[in-house]
Amino acid sequence: MFKEKIAEVMKNDKLMKGIIFGVTFLFIFFTLVGAVTPEKYFLKVGDIAGSSIKSPSNIENTIATEQKRKEAADKVKDAITIDTEVANEVSQNIQQLFSKTLEIKSTNVDDIKTSDLVFTEQEKALMEDDNTSKNDLIKLKRLKADVDIRLSDESFKILLSLNANEFESLNKYLDETMGELYKQYQINTDLKQAQDFINSQFNVSDFNISTRELGKSIGYNLVKPNVKNDSVKTKEQKEEAMKAVQPVMIKENQIIVKEGEPVTSEQIEVLKLLGIYGEDNSFAVMASISLLVIIAITLLIEGFYIYKYHKKAYTNKMLILICLLQCFSILIARILSYISPFLIPLACVPMLMALLIDENLSIILNVINCVFIAIATHSNVPITLMAVTNAIMGTTLLKKMDTRNDILYSSLYICGINLVFTAALSYIQVDNSFKAMLIKCGYSSIASLLSGVLTIGVLSSLESLFDIVTTVKLLELSNPNQPLLKKLLMEAPGTYHHSVLVANLSELAAEAIGANSVLARVGAYYHDVGKLKRSYFFKENQVGMSNPHDKLSPNLSTLIIIGHVKDGIELAKEYKLPEVIQDIIREHHGTSLVKYFYITMKNNSEKPEEVREEDFRYPGPNPRSREAGIIMLADGVEAAVRSISEPTTGKIQEMVNNIIKGRLNDGYLDSCDLTLKDIEKIRKAFLKGLSGIYHERIEYPKLATKENEDKLKKIENIDELDKLNEVNNKSGSEKLEQPENKSKLDNLNKEKGK
């Protein structure tokens, strides 16, 4: 019951594709979730750390960075501007003081307004007793009230008592002193520097002591700051200082909390910053949701692209292979990133996809897969860029490969490219020391070579498991030393030669229409291996002997001719040829009619209406691939042109046109996806190839076959025919040992080499 349900599920194509993508989705999620949600730590301030806690990734320590920026801003002094008008204002105040003093001095006391002046009782008594004291007191009070300067009464008295010369000298000297002060100094709210300057200037003056002290006192009272704080400029300078601070980075694997030490509040803040503090799970939840969305979108894009542009790869078998390779690349990236992300064999999967599936599809899928590589390596920029480069280079370098060793050569090229990338990109990371760069280069070299070794090691297993014939496998099958090809050459040299010619024509035609030229060539080598069983019953092997079919009934001859397809399949299975080669053997005649024997049977039959056409047709099916269709045409064309007694360009062209037209009209090419444009290109390719092959005819020497002819007269069924075949093959091998026949074999081998 369970097996039946499994079988039903596997028959449901849409359900199977859903399962494939679903399993891939879950695998990628559970592989990468650890990269976005690191291990949590439940600690409190003062707890003793049971083990050292390391940073899971490179990240900016925003707390320390902010603290450094604050310190840098605090070090910036307030920006100031010099108010040049202050010196003028002070000079004006000096002039106002002295002009007012001079005015009051020269004014009669009776004319001085006193109503707003306030006198103490003692002052009033003094004014009544002494008229002089009264006059001086009124002028002092008036001056004190009219000027905006805080001087002692004694200072005002001295100022009013100065004679004209002293008065003028003091005014001038004080004005010059204050002017010089503002030229030399930037005076802020701390006036001590200004007062020291005034003091020093008056100490060296020629005034008497009282006048000096008066000048100092006036200067002290009139001086004021000429510096103003520029808040806007100060803010700008602080911001610039903060921007200049380099971010404080926490490096991957940097120890945050040491084993055996008490945990501090600052360390807990850093753990929170890294998202590995146990109390807050919001980061892990959001990271997991984000990862789910990224995986879903990426797989949808991949699936849509394959369905839209590479429908041949949109089969369950190929989708399983694609997803398997993708999961492998993500898993190995995740594992090796713990040691060093530069150890990841980034070119391995691109090379496998290019060899097993399709080169163009490999580039697209592996570039998209770089999203997952980036997540697996904690958004490592150099590794992501190298993954993109390896996806492209790993695919394109294998386009012109001939042997499996070329995979290793490609990995050496990739190694050189990766070394340059690693050295150049190392310096954009936090740890950009020369030693670190050398270590990364070493890892990168190992990874590049590992890509080639893994590709070679895994390729054969995947070829067998998914029944895929790669270019490498095809090239190996094309080796003349392959047992079956060697057997064909030794036992059916005519068929071997025919197969070589068909292979050359097929390769030219496949290249002309953009089909798989290697598959076409190799398929042509093996398409007639079934003729080995009864080789001398086929025209190309009847060198110097009469046609044995002349002694057989049309029915028996048809069974022999048609049987070479079935015999070819059996041999292909015995020698474990890939399914795609077996298909070419099976389809290279399609369901075509063996016309010669059909017409012969019909003409010689007493009841021609009972002769069925189906009995004289190949079992088929008709060609289902472009390469099989090309081989069908090349096989027919080569055999037909070979039958022309005196081939000329015109005869060859007419024969090629007739063969192709006949195959088209009979519908044998309806299932192989060849367009009329392709057919025309194939026709031209055949003509080009045949013009070189049949520029002259080769006359084969005749061999005596009387013994076989006598035996053929006694043959009544196909079993007796097989016995004769064994004898003939044996005698044929003996004949091939003769010097003149060895020479022919050498010529055939040379033709194969060409």
- In tens, the pLDDT along 319-341 reads 999 999 999 999 999 999 888 89
Range among 47-56, 113-122, 481-490, 740-749 rated most confident: 481-490
- Dihedral angle sign, alpha carbons of residues 617, 621, 622, 627: negative
Query: pLDDT at position 429, please?
Result: 60
Q: What span, in angstroms and rounded, lies between the C-alpha atoms of 631 and 505?
A: 8
Query: pLDDT at position 739, please?
Result: 42
Please write the tens of the pLDDT for every residue from 148-192: 888 888 888 888 888 889 889 989 999 999 889 888 888 877 788
Helix ranges (DSSP H) in 608-675: 626-642, 649-665
Compare 380 and 681 and report the one with higher pLDDT.
681
* Pairing label, strands 53-54, 80-82: unpaired
> Quick one: DSSP state of residue 41?
B
- Average pLDDT for 105-126: 70
Query: pLDDT at position 732, please?
Result: 41
Query: pLDDT at position 735, please?
Result: 40
Q: What span, in angstroms and rounded, lies between the C-alpha atoms of 347 and 388?
A: 10
Query: pLDDT at position 700, please?
Result: 44
Q: For residues 540 and 498, is the Cβ–Cβ distance under 8 A?
A: yes
Q: What span, in angstroms and rounded, lies between the C-alpha atoms of 714 and 710?
A: 7
Q: b/e for 575-601, b at 16 or more Cβ within 10 A?
A: bebbebbbbbbbbbbbebbbeebbebb
Residue 733 has pLDDT above 50, yes or no: no
Query: pLDDT at position 85, please?
Result: 86
Question: Torsions phi, psi of 581, nearest 5?
Answer: -70, -40
Query: pLDDT at position 470, please?
Result: 86
Query: pLDDT at position 629, please?
Result: 96
Task: Give all domains of the chain, ordered by start, each with its CATH number.
Answer: 2-19+283-460 (1.10.1760), 80-225 (no CATH), 474-753 (no CATH)
Residue 260 has pLDDT above 60, yes or no: yes
* pLDDT class of 645 with cuts at 50, 70, 90: confident
Query: pLDDT at position 115, please?
Result: 66
Q: b/e for 281-316, b at 16 or more Cβ within 10 A?
A: eebbeebbeebeebbeebbeebbebbeeebeebbee
Mean per-residue pLDDT of the chain: 83
Query: pLDDT at position 344, please?
Result: 94
Residue 485 has pLDDT above 60, yes or no: yes
Of all residues in the chain, what percent carry a pLDDT higher than 90?
Answer: 37
- Average pLDDT for 729-740: 43
Residue 476 has pLDDT above 50, yes or no: yes
* pLDDT class of 720 with cuts at 50, 70, 90: low
- Average pLDDT for 79-97: 85
Q: What span, in angstroms and rounded, lies between the C-alpha atoms of 364 and 354?
A: 11
Query: pLDDT at position 326, please?
Result: 95
Question: Torsions phi, psi of 255, nearest 5?
Answer: -75, 125
Q: What span, in angstroms and rounded, lies between the C-alpha atoms of 486 and 214?
A: 129
Query: pLDDT at position 723, please?
Result: 58
Please write the tens of the pLDDT for every residue from 274-283: 767 766 666 6
Please write the tens of the pLDDT for every residue from 437-464: 888 899 999 999 999 999 999 998 998 8
* pLDDT class of 7 with cuts at 50, 70, 90: low
- Dihedral angle sign, alpha carbons of residues 218, 222, 225, 226: negative
Compare 552 and 659 and report the one with higher pLDDT.
659
Give strand pairing partners of 81. Answer: 228
Q: For residues 538 and 545, is the Cβ–Cβ distance under 8 A?
A: no
**What residue type is 644 in one-letter code?**
I
Q: For residues 506 and 521, is the Cβ–Cβ distance under 8 A?
A: yes
Longest dimension (CA), the chain: 183
723 by Cβ neighbours in 10 Å (0-12 / 13-18 / 19+) ranks as exposed
Query: pLDDT at position 698, please?
Result: 43
* pLDDT class of 734 with cuts at 50, 70, 90: very low
Range among 22-36, 402-416, 421-435 rated most confident: 22-36
Residue 708 has pLDDT above 60, yes or no: no
- Average pLDDT for 691-715: 53
**What residue type is 2 in one-letter code?**
F
Please tell me the chain's helix, strand, coil percentages from 3-state DSSP, rounded to the nearest 5.
70, 5, 25
Query: pLDDT at position 24, please?
Result: 96
